[in-house]
Amino acid sequence: MDILTTKADGILTIEFNRPERKNAITGVMYQAMADALVEAESDSAVRAILIVGKPEIFTAGNDLDDFMKNSAPVPGVPAEARPVFQFMRALSGSSKPVVAAVAGAAVGIGTTLLMHCDLVYAADNAKFSMPFSQLGLCPEFASSLLLPQLAGYPRAAEKLLLGEAFLAQEALEMGLVSKVVPAAELREFAHKQAAKLVALPAASIRATKALMKRSRTGPINDTMAAENQLFGAMLLAPEAKEAFTAFFEKRKPDFSRFS
């Protein structure tokens, strides 16, 4: 199974389990995570959610082979029906606290999804990147709103416009993660933090989370919709085609002929 889900002691753990492909995410994997989050929302036995990868890799982002086959718009099928959108909607809308533990690389949506979690812990080997501009695309799932709120516009612009990777300490300084811990201790530490949430009054935790997110829910949904519309159009543009072709041909893309 490329996504492992377990429920124990009040914690739903969702684990990327495709290390041979650097935990690259397919549509099937997005659907599995979306279904797990939707089910957890109505399961009173689940009081906290923990998202983890492997010690050497969180996720390389979208599986590009799968992405190219399944990301093109389908007439009559709304973009919101795509598994990735179902997953991000369920994550962003979860009333229960979500803890993420990031070791190794978190590429693209691997970084984007963290902005919708409540407690994010990084190993000292963590490396983050949002290379959308390098692929001829734009930010996704409200990252163009949330990253400037977290890090301030200048730093967010550097990460989103250049798309360059940054390390755990800088992610901590930006406010993207709550704490940096040794890689060997990450999973146990994150699990203990989730267990602390489980031990607290569930209604209090849900109410506190809802109040903190109350002013952001509308803007997040609006920004997601705007990004999604633009992202879909840019997928079909020449710049994206050049970027993906260059990736599969293992060469540097040439955007000089595009205005």
- The CATH number for 32's domain is 3.90.226.10
Given a cut of 90, is residue 74 above it in pLDDT? Answer: no
Residue 241 included in any domain: no
b (16+ CB within 10 A) / e for 197-215: beeeebeebeeebeeebee
Q: Is residue 78 part of a domain?
A: yes
The pLDDT of residue 26 is 97
Q: How much is the pLDDT for 11?
A: 98
Confidence of residue 72 (pLDDT cuts 50, 70, 90): low
Q: How many CB atoms lie within 10 A of CB 24?
A: 23
Report if residue 175 sits inside a domain: yes
Into how many domains does the chain fold?
1
| Residue 79 pLDDT exceeds 80 | no
Q: What's the average model confidence in pLDDT over 63-91?
A: 85
Give the number of other CB atoms < 10 A from CB of residue 219: 13
Q: Is residue 151 part of a domain?
A: yes
- CB-based contacts of 197, cutoff 8 Å, min separation 6: 47, 48, 97, 99, 119, 205
Residue 106 domain boundaries: 3-181
Percent of the residues in the chain that have a pLDDT greater than 70, as a whole number? 99
- The reply to whether 245 falls in a domain is no
How far does the chain reach from its first CA to its final CA, in angstroms?
44
Residues 197-234 pLDDT 10s: 999 999 999 999 999 999 999 999 999 999 999 998 99
How many Å apart are CA 140 and CA 15, to the nearest integer?
Answer: 22
Q: Choose among 39, 230, 249: nearest CA to 143.
A: 230
> Per DSSP, which regions of 17-112 are E strands?
48-52, 57-59, 98-102, 105-107
Q: For the residues 163-182, what does the mean pLDDT come to?
A: 98
Top-confidence residue, 95 or 259:
95
Place of tokens 């050049």: 242
Give a yes or no: residue 156 inside a domain.
yes
CA angle 174, 140, 93 (to 5 degrees): 85
User: Is 18 inside any structural domain?
Assistant: yes
For residue 82, tell me if it sits in a domain: yes
pLDDT tens digit string along 224-251? 999 999 998 999 899 999 999 998 899 9
List own/partner pairs for 161-165 with CB under 8 A and 24 or more apart.
161/133, 162/133, 163/129, 163/130, 163/131, 163/132, 163/133, 163/134, 164/129, 164/131, 165/105, 165/127, 165/128, 165/129
For the chain, count helices (H), then strands (E). Answer: 11, 10
Residues sharing a CB contact under 8 Å with residue 165, sequence separation 6 or more, in sequence order: 105, 127, 128, 129
pLDDT above 90 for 88? yes
The pLDDT value given to residue 117: 98
For residue 76, pLDDT over 80 is answered with no
Residue 5 has pLDDT above 70, yes or no: yes
- The residue type found at 144 is S
User: Quick one: which of 83, 82, 147, 81 has its CA closest to 112?
Assistant: 147
Q: Which amino acid is at 68?
A: M
Question: pLDDT-derived band of residue 73, with 50, 70 and 90 as boundaries?
Answer: low
What average pLDDT does the segment 164-183 reach? 98
Token pair belonging to 225: 């919709």
Query: What is the Cα–Cα distance from 202 to 95, expressed in whole angstroms?
Result: 10
pLDDT-wise least confident of 28-32, 64-68, 157-161: 64-68
**CB neighbour list of residue 247: distance below 8 Å, 6 or more residues apart:** 64, 135, 253
Angle, helices 27-41 vs 83-92, to 10°: value is: 30
